[in-house]
Structure 1
């Protein structure tokens, strides 16, 4: 019984991450890649079908395959993520001018996310995207 509950929770978490990743593709403040990587990990544990679906997706499959095989990202992807984070958080912090608490919260969140991206190992893929 516990195994079924664990399976259901991990599987549900995978789909939640996919949904958040899709939302993140349209909202500049939410990242897409970390959510898709989390979904990939959840589905690796619970559903080979959905794991393969993510790896074979024409839009995100290449970077996810690279992550799945080598736990690395392309330098270009890393730079794009950093630029988007800086632009999005800079814009958001500017919009909240005068609300120092909210600005500081966003600044801390931005620092954590930028730190996460900077810690990712880099490598160029050995296959075509």
Structure 2
């Protein structure tokens, strides 16, 4: 892929995910931060200007900075993600004729995602007082 074409594709990807993230602000079932993280990555590969704009944005910037510095996934986002996974798994199991190996694969991937989500902190670590010498 030519460099110019790649840059345009990454810019389009970035703006697409910014748009999805913005929609996620008003729709509680659509996550905001994961989409903005993808947009931030795409901008980091294509436009320093847009990367800086998104990273320092008044509303979108703080959760991105929290993720970068501390790996934080807010409790609300964890609840939404895990609930969505559980509902999705239930609907697939009850309403489809998916073979057992498809269900096992889906449930395994969901479990990996759930473990990842649950092992991330929900808030900043408490500052430790400096040890006296």
Larger radius of gyration: 2
CA shift at 1:19, angstroms? 2.3
Q: Which residue of 2 aligns with 1:101?
A: 98
Q: Please, which runs of 5 or more residues in structure 1 have no aligned partner?
A: none
CA distance in 2, matches of 1:49, 1:7: 13
Counterpart selection for 2:79 from 65, 68, 83: 83
Whole-Å Cα distance in 2 between the matches of residues 51 and 119 of structure 1? 28
Q: Distance in 2 between matches of 1:23 and 1:41?
A: 19
Structure 2 length as normaliser, TM-score? 0.64
**TM-score for both structures, normalised by structure 1:** 0.66
Give yes or no for the alignment of 1:10 onto 2:5.
no
| Structure 2 unaligned regions, length at least 5 | 127-133
User: How many residues of Structure 1 are paired with residues of Structure 2 in the alignment?
Assistant: 121
The answer on whether the counterparts of 2:72 and 2:120 sit within 8 Å (CA) in structure 1 is no
1:65 CA drift (Å): 1.9
